[in-house]
Structure 1
Amino acid sequence: MDSRLLSDPIRYRCALAEEIGHHIVGMYSNLLNSHRSARGQAQMTIDEIKGQIWAVKFLVPLEEFNEALIILDNPSDEELARYFQVTIDFILLRRQIK
Structure 2
Amino acid sequence: MSSDNLLEPVYQFRAQTEQLLELARAGDWEGYEQQAPERQALLAKLNDNQFMIDVAEAGLADELREQIADIQTLNDELGRLAEQTKSDIANDLKRQNTNDKAVKAYKTP
TM-score, normalised on structure 1?
0.30
- TM-score w.r.t. structure 2 length? 0.27
Q: As a proportion of its length, which structure holds more helix?
A: 2
